[in-house]
Amino acid sequence: MCIAILVSQSEPKNKDGPLVLVGLMGAGKSTIGRRLAARLNIGFVDADDEIELAAGLSIAEIFERYGEAHFRDGERRVIARLMEEGRQVIATGGGAFIDPDTRSAILANAIAIWLDADIATLAERVARRNHRPLLVGKDPATVLRDLADIRNPFYAQAHIHISSTPTPHVRTVERVVDELESRKLI
């Protein structure tokens, strides 16, 4: 198994800002984020957990009751608040970086790291849990392929792009750390 690393040409404006993980559902933002935070001895927060806490509802319930636009508005505000809390690892939901205002704020105030994986790997990972509103009643591979077609050009704007095949999470974390160190971001 191998891990390739691709690096965006843009440099982060805030080199001391939070590390914000972006990418499709199932890319490992939460799992790798927790391990990355532990490795760097900084805090970790999952934006989706914070949204649920603030709303008193699950993500699925927010989507069902109020729709995606309402969810994205809350998501934008929560991520902005989290970025104000200083250096930490923030895992975002798969659609967060697609929102132009959220993306602009992340690119200006944080170090955006795109965790990428092939569709088969993503589909296998998301099939383990049944909590993703965009997948309800649909084939995960088809949905993920369609989402990748739309979202990958946005994710490509992240400062760092880590592309991986199935491998132990610790190896992906080390690749992220190596890239951050080589760019003098940690």
Q: Is 94 among the annotated ligand-binding positions? A: yes
Q: Is 132 among the annotated ligand-binding positions? A: yes
Q: Is 142 among the annotated ligand-binding positions? A: no
Q: Which residues contact 77 (CB under 8 A, 6 or more apart)?
A: none
Cβ atoms 160, 60 nearer than 8 A: no
Q: Is 31 among the annotated ligand-binding positions? A: yes
Q: Is 171 among the annotated ligand-binding positions? A: no
Q: Is 118 among the annotated ligand-binding positions? A: no
**Residue carrying structure tokens 């205002």:** 101
Q: Is 74 among the annotated ligand-binding positions? A: no
Q: Is 29 among the annotated ligand-binding positions? A: yes
Residue 44 φ/ψ, nearest 5 degrees: -130, 140
Cβ atoms 112, 9 nearer than 8 A: no
For residues 168 and 150, what is the distance between their CA atoms, to the nearest angstrom?
28
Q: Which residues contact 80 (CB under 8 A, 6 or more apart)?
A: 102, 105
Cβ atoms 159, 12 nearer than 8 A: yes
Residue 45 φ/ψ, nearest 5 degrees: -145, 140
Q: Is 178 among the annotated ligand-binding positions? A: no
Largest CA distance in the chain: 45
The number of residues making up the chain comes to 186
Annotated binding-site residues for Mg(2+) read 30
Annotated binding-site residues for substrate read 48, 72, 94, 151
Annotated binding-site residues read 26-31, 48, 72, 94, 132, 151
Annotated binding-site residues for ATP read 26-31, 132
